Structure 1
Amino acid sequence: MFTLVKIVFALLSAFLVYRAISRQCNKYLAFVVVALWLRFTLSAFHNVTYDPLFAGFSINALASIGIAFAGLLLLPRKVIALRSLLWLYIFLACIVVSGIVNMRTMGLINVMVKWTVFLVIAGALFMAIRKTGKDLALRKVLVAFFLPVSLQIMSVLLGEVKATEADGSASYIGGYNHEAAFSMIIASFTLVVGLLSSKAIRYRAALFALGCVLVVLANYRTSILAILPMTAMFAFSLIEAKVANKHKPVFYVLSLFGIGLAFLALSYTMQDRFGDIFVFLSSWQDLIKAPEYYSEAEKDIFSARVYIWSLYIHAYLLADPINQIFGMGPEAWNGVFKKYAHNTYVSYLYEYGVVGLLAFLTAVGSFLIQAFKTKDRKFAWLLFSSMIGFLIMNLATMPLWNIEGLLLYALLIGVTISPVNGVRKTALKTSGVSTNLARN
């Protein structure tokens, strides 16, 4: 029954995407929209697209490779060579070195394909925003989210629910395979809506609220935590715009109390899902120990994440000095541990060593600084809080291991490195808008 719903909405979404890219859409923006839509559509039919099809590659994997190569052919070399991406390339160089040192050829190829997808999406969005402006580009990007958002709403209406693997609680994920990857798609939708200007789209506040509700219904804790900073900043900026200047000092004080009360209310209403987080925060010093010293009760804390982190860190500390510097190699955890680390920073320490982790932290730090330096201060805070939320997500899962998570971060970075306040003069001429965009 729900498969039929998927097919109907997939066809409808294809039509909407076609309309979106055929009107006022340059080739770079069209590439971003189609790439996102293709990934979301293929993932919706995971029963078919996840199985190996050719040479061990699934349809999803082949699509990712196709997106990566198509993007490299599309983008000008000057985009790939942007100075703002320097530290990211240094991090990628660390991955290559780790792969060569440890002779992890297949792991290196898999990881580099994923990061190439990230680079081409971020680069194409950079070019799209440069030509059309931020708001037009992000409005077009929203069309790609029609399918997952619609399917999740339909899953609620039709009672299509999945019990989460960790605790059996209900997750509405629109018939997708796993709540982790799906929640990243919905978080991306929510953040894109939040980054649009208030006058760029109708019902912006309602769409943002819908996105927040859908993230909660997806019921993946780390994604819920990831959107909290953006949600707080979005609500703050929305209300602040309506407050007179003379009342703003009082408003700022009340806002702090309001955010605190909202956090306590959320903690209370969702204590069954977030109780382990408070247990971890209150006793983290007692949990820093070798994995063999964990009791059965301690192994269950935070869905066993703390215990998993201990396994990785302990293995890293017992490794040879060369491995501590350069890591065990890309995806070296596979075949050694039953589960991936559920923490990007812990995983990168194990896979790429201290050098790779420091390069990664420097890269994400440089993007944070770029976001904060955006000239439009309200937008800068929204973008900065979005990126903080994404980095929080990485503390308890690995969005950069999933294509969906990489797409989320690519959208944030594409906006961050773009001239969000500027549009090419040729695109501003009323009489030449359609002509100039059509040529691209």
Structure 2
Amino acid sequence: MFALVKILFALISAFFVYKTISKQCNKYLAFVIIALWLRFTLSAFHNLTYDPIFAGFSINALASIGIAFAGLLLLPPKVIALRSLLWLYIFLACIVISGLVNMRLMGLINVMVKWCVFLAIAGALFMAIRKMGKDLVLRKVLVAFLLPVSLQIMSVIMGEVKATEADGSASYIGGYNHEAAFSMIIASFTLVVGLVSSKVIRFRAALFALGCVLVILANYRTSILAILPMAAMFAFSLVEGKVATRHKPVFYVLSLFSIGLAFLGLSYTMQDRFADIFVFLSSWQDLIKAPEYYSEAEKDIFSARVYIWSLYIHAYVLADPINQIFGMGPEAWNGVFKKYAHNTYVSYLYEYGIVGVLAFFTAVGSFLVQAFKTNDRKFAWLLFSSMIGFLIMNLATMPLWNIEGLLLYAVLIGVTISPVHDAKEVSLKTSPVSSNLARN
């Protein structure tokens, strides 16, 4: 029955996507919308799109390759050569070196295709914002999320629920395959709503609240934690603008108190899901040890994540010096460990070594600095908190391994590297680079 619901809403969403890209939409924005919608739609029909159909590639994999190449061919060369992406390219170079040193060629290809998807979406979003303005672009991008949001709402209405593997709790994920990837889609929707100005979208606060509720219903802990910084900043900025200047000191104190109470309330209402996190935070120093010293009870903490991290870190410590420097190679965990690391930073240390991890931290740090330097201070804080939330998500899962997570980060970076955020500024020649891009 729910399969028919998927088909119906897929057709409805396709109609709205067509209507959106056919009016006031350049080729770059159209590409972003279609690419996001295509990925979300194919993932909804995972029973058909996840199985290999040609040369070991699934429909999803072939679509990702197509998105990557189409996007990179669409972009002007100067977008690919943006100086703001320099540290990201250094990190990608570390991946290539690690792959060649360890002869992990298939893993290298898989990882690079994913990052090409990231570059295609981030670059196209950069061009779209430069030409049309941030608010108009992000408002139109929201149409790509119509299908997953609608399906999740329908799954709640129809009782289409999935038992979470770890503890059997209910996850409403709209018939998608796994709550991890799906929660990243809903988190993306929520963050995009938060980044759009209230002047260009109706019921922005209600839509943002809906997104937060849907993230909770997806019931994936790391995504819930990731959305908290943006939710706190969104609520703060929403009220702060209405408070008189003389009352703002009191407002700031009350805001901190309210955020603390909200966090405690969320922790209490979802204590069964977050109990392991508090156990880990209160005894992390006792959990830093070789995996063979873990008791059966300790292995279960945080859905076995802490034990899994220990396996990876212990293997890295025992590795040869050359592997400690450059890592074991892209996706080297596959075939060695039963599960991926459930932590981007631990996984990157194992796969790309200390050089790769340092390059990655420098790259994400440079994007954080760019976000914080945005001229619109209120928007800067919203963008900065969104990126902090994404980095929190990487602590207990691997969104940069999932295409859905890479798409989320691509949207954040595409907005971050686009210094023109006001539609009125789009026509201004802010730099020689922007004037050259405008002619392409």
Counterpart residue number, 1:292: 292
d(CA) in 2 for partners of 1:313, 1:136 = 45
RMSD (Å) for aligned C-alpha atoms:
1.2
TM-score, L = length of structure 2 = 0.97
Trace 1:333-348 onto structure 2 (pairs within 5 A). Answer: 333-348=333-348
Paired AA for residue 353 in structure 1: G
Q: In the alignment, which residue of structure 1 is the partner of 2:283?
A: 283
* Counterparts of residues 422-437 of structure 1 (less than 5 Å): 422-423=422-423
Cross-structure match for 1:152: 152
Aligned to 1:257: 257
Provide the secondary structure at the position in 2 that maps to 1:53. strand
- Is the 1:173–1:218 Cα contact (8 Å) retained in structure 2? yes
Correspondence for 1:71: 71
Structure 2 residues not aligned, in runs of 5+: 429-438
Query: Does the Cα contact within 8 Å between 1:132 and 1:424 map onto a contact in 2?
Result: no
Letter in 1 for 2:392: I
SS state at 1:382 partner:
helix
- The answer for unaligned runs of 5 or more in structure 1 is 429-438
| Structure-2 separation of matches of 1:56 and 1:426 | 45
Q: Contact between 1:130 and 1:424, CA under 8 Å: does it hold in 2?
A: no
Further displaced range: 326-335 or 243-252: 243-252
Q: 1:238-280: CA deviations, max 9, x gaps?
A: 0111111111110001101111111111111110000000000
1:432 match:
none
Question: Residues 206-217 of structure 1 correspond to what in structure 2 (within 5 A)?
Answer: 206-217=206-217
Q: Tell me if structure 1 keeps the 8 A contact 2:299–2:306.
A: yes
Q: Letter of the aligned partner of 1:242 in structure 2? A: K
Q: Residues 131 and 424 of structure 1 are in contact (CA less than 8 Å); yes or no, is this contact kept in structure 2?
A: no
Contact 1:330/1:351 (<8 A) preserved: yes
Deviation at 1:198, TM superposition (A): 1.4
User: What secondary structure is seen at the aligned counterpart in 2 of 1:214?
Assistant: helix
The residue correspondences of 1:307-386 to structure 2 (distance < 5 A) are 307-386=307-386
Q: Which amino acid aligns with 2:368?
A: L
Separation of aligned partners in 2, 1:99 and 1:243: 55
Deviation at 1:422, TM superposition (A): 4.5
Aligned residues of 1:330 and 1:352 also touching (Cα < 8 A): yes
User: 8 Å contact 2:52–2:58 — kept in the other structure?
Assistant: yes
2:15 aligned residue: 15
Tell me if structure 2 keeps the 8 A contact 1:32–1:121. yes
Instruction: Output the amino acid matched with 1:345.
Output: Y
Q: CA deviation at 1:200?
A: 1.3
Q: How far off its partner does 1:427 sit?
A: 5.9
Distance 1:299 1:426, change over 3 A: closer
AA at the equivalent of 1:180: A
Equivalence for 2:28: 28
Specify the alignment match of 2:200 in structure 1: 200
Aligned mates of 1:326, 1:75 — CA distance in 2: 31
Check whether the contact 1:33–1:141 (CA below 8 A) recurs between aligned residues: yes
Aligned residues: 430
Aligned to 2:90: 90
Counterpart contact for 1:130–1:422, Cα < 8 Å: no
**Separation in structure 1 between the aligned mates of residue 426 and residue 264 of structure 2, nearest angstrom:** 51
Assess if the C-alpha contact under 8 Å between 2:135 and 2:423 holds in 1.
no
Shift of the alpha carbon at 1:426?
A: 7.8
Identical-residue share of aligned pairs (%): 89
CA–CA separation in structure 1 for the residues paired with 2:314 and 2:393: 23
- SS of 1:282's equivalent in the other structure is helix
Alpha-carbon offset, residue 115 of structure 1: 0.2
Residue 272 of structure 2: aligned partner: 272
Runs of 4+ in 1 over 3 A off after TM superposition: 422-428
CA distance in 2, matches of 1:63, 1:394: 25
Contact 2:135–2:421 (Cα < 8 Å) also in 1:
no
Shift of 1:420: 3.3
